[in-house]
């Protein structure tokens, strides 16, 4: 009997539907070769959900996600909804689904392949060999703290956002970071702003305490501004970067430029009983519907889903190897193509799907390093 895996597809806005279609194409190739079965169910989120239901996260979408073993999401947002009230902006759909499902840790791997080193914003000699993971706390910090809002006081408007971290929130994400480091190069860099912020002082204290449970893992601390500098100066020096919600959001976009394009970077948002996978890029409304978007981050997010939610390690490695082989042949979409013809979104998906099938049939995906 075929193993059945249930996947909620939340394509979202802008280029989201286009890149998710290519990830599904790759998954269907795996299905045809590997003897597994994926059952897809689509739901609305973000701006598309607002247009259809007036809510960025309809109850039907929540039900679909609760019935799935994993969620694959495209992107949310766009200028069309910029004037909406804060509670009906597309981004609220993403924040709400994270909170409802308890997705408290976000993994954002950044790996610079030799074939991509020349596309980095930094000299190739500095970025070759970069292989790090940003472990971002996802349910605390300034994105969720109250009070928040824009208020009138003494005749002028005042914007308020509140940064809150509770001890248990730091503990659980720290454990995840140290456990991940044990499977890699055994080094955790915890990033905060403890010289200024009380939340960061708590963060540093808790991470230090948790680190004593992992004596085989090296722990060091950096202020976020210093980390931002070192990511440019020596990205190969990092293994696992553990940090808060907002710092992780900012640093992972910086790290994308180390890799050459935000279009290459996947992510996994994990809780105790649920998981959501998405590219870290936005909805790119300027190229939406033009078959120009890079689908690799969405495809690599699907590979993370195969690994973490379904334990299909061979299939996950096959997808990752397929992406590397296609890139090595010089195939690129328009945001990084420098010479020759840029490939369309769908053509890139075709190449990766075909290569994935070839690798699985040969039985020899590359081992993870």
Q: Determine which one of 114, 205, 225, 233 is catalytic.
A: 225
pLDDT at 247: 98
Residue 340, both tokens:
């020759």
pLDDT at 34: 87
pLDDT at 355: 97
Q: Determine which one of 5, 104, 119, 143 is catalytic.
A: 143
Q: Determine which one of 193, 214, 239, 292 is catalytic.
A: 193
Cβ(58)–Cβ(44) below 8 Å? yes
pLDDT at 338: 60
pLDDT at 35: 85
pLDDT at 299: 98
Collapsing DSSP to helix, strand or coil, 166 comes out as coil
State the Cα–Cα distance between residues 247 and 192, nearest whole angstrom: 8
Q: Determine which one of 80, 126, 253, 358 is catalytic.
A: 253
125 class by beta-carbon count within 10 Å (0-12 exposed, 13-18 middle, 19+ buried): exposed
pLDDT at 123: 87
* Helices 296-308 and 345-362, axial angle in degrees (round to 10): 40
Q: Catalytic: 358?
A: no
Chain-centre distance of CA 228, in angstroms?
19
pLDDT at 334: 87
Domain boundaries, the chain: 1-103+271-369, 104-263
pLDDT at 119: 77
If you classify domain 104-263 with CATH, what class do you get? alpha beta
pLDDT at 305: 98
Residue 276, both tokens:
């959501």
Collapsing DSSP to helix, strand or coil, 242 comes out as strand
Q: Do domains 1-103+271-369 and 104-263 have the same CATH topology?
A: yes
Cβ(190)–Cβ(220) below 8 Å? yes
Q: Catalytic: 131?
A: no
Domain 1-103+271-369 in CATH: superfamily?
Isopropylmalate Dehydrogenase (3.40.718.10)
Q: Catalytic: 123?
A: no
pLDDT at 125: 87
Cβ(103)–Cβ(275) below 8 Å? yes
Q: Catalytic: 128?
A: no
Q: Catalytic: 292?
A: no
Residue 40, both tokens:
């897809």
Span 116-168, pLDDT tens digits: 787 788 888 889 999 999 999 999 999 999 999 999 999 999 999 999 999 99
Residue 279 main-chain phi, psi, to 5 deg? -65, 150
Kindly give the confidence (pLDDT) of every residue in the chain, 369 residues in length, as a single tens digit, with 9 standing for 90 and above: 678 999 999 999 999 999 999 999 999 999 999 889 999 999 999 999 999 999 999 999 999 999 999 999 999 999 999 999 988 999 999 999 999 999 999 999 999 888 778 778 888 888 999 999 999 999 999 999 999 999 999 999 999 999 999 999 999 999 999 999 999 999 999 999 999 999 999 999 999 999 999 999 999 999 999 999 999 999 999 999 999 999 999 999 899 888 887 888 999 999 999 999 999 999 999 999 999 999 999 999 999 999 999 999 999 999 999 999 999 898 889 887 665 689 999 999 999 999 999 999 998 665 554
pLDDT at 337: 64
Q: Determine which one of 249, 277, 292, 325 is catalytic.
A: 249
Q: How many CB atoms lie within 10 A of CB 366?
A: 13
Q: Give 39's strand partners.
A: 6
The dihedral through the CA atoms of 303, 297, 77, 43 has a sign that is: negative
pLDDT at 366: 59
Residue 346, both tokens:
């769908």
Cβ(246)–Cβ(278) below 8 Å? no
pLDDT at 37: 96
Cα dist from 258 to 188, 303, 306, 336, whole Å: 19, 21, 26, 13
pLDDT at 122: 86
């Amino acid at each position: 009997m075929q193993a059945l895996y249930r996947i909620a597809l939340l394509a979202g806005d802008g280029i989201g539907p286009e890149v998710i279609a290519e990830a599904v194409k790759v998954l269907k190739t795996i299905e045809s070769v590997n003897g597994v079965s994926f059952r897809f169910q689509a739901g609305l989120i973000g701006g598309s959900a607002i247009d259809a239901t007036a809510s960025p996260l309809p109850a039907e979408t929540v039900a679909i996600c609760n019935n799935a073993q994993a969620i694959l999401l495209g992107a949310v947002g766009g200028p069309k909804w910029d004037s909406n009230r804060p509670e009906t902006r597309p981004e609220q759909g993403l924040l709400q689904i994270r909170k409802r499902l308890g997705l408290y840790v976000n993994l954002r791997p950044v790996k610079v392949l030799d074939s991509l080193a020349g596309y980095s914003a930094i000299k190739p000699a500095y970025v070759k060999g970069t292989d790090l993971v940003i472990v971002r706390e996802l349910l605390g910090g300034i994105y969720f703290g109250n009070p928040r809002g824009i208020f009138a006081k003494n005749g002028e408007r005042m914007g308020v956002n509140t940064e809150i971290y509770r001890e248990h929130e730091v503990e659980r994400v720290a454990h995840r970071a140290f456990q991940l480091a044990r499977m890699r190069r055994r080094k955790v860099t915890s990033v905060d702003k403890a010289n200024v912020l009380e939340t960061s002082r708590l963060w540093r204290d808790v991470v230090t305490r948790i680190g004593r449970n992992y004596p085989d893992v090296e722990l060091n601390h950096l202020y976020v501004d210093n980390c931002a500098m070192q990511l440019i100066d020596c990205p190969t020096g990092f293994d696992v970067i553990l940090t808060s919600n907002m710092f992780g959001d900012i640093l992972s976009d910086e790290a994308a430029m180390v890799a050459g394009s935000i279009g290459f970077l996947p992510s996994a948002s994990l809780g105790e009983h649920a998981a959501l996978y998405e590219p870290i890029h936005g909805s790119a409304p300027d190229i939406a519907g033009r078959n120009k978007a890079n689908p690799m981050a969405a495809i690599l997010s699907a590979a993370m889903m195969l690994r973490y939610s379904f334990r299909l390690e061979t299939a996950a490695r096959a997808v990752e190897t397929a992406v590397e082989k296609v890139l090595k042949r010089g195939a690129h979409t328009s945001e990084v193509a420098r010479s020759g013809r840029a490939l369309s979104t769908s053509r890139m998906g075709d190449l990766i799907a075909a290569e994935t099938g070839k690798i699985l049939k040969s039985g020899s995906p590359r081992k993870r390093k």
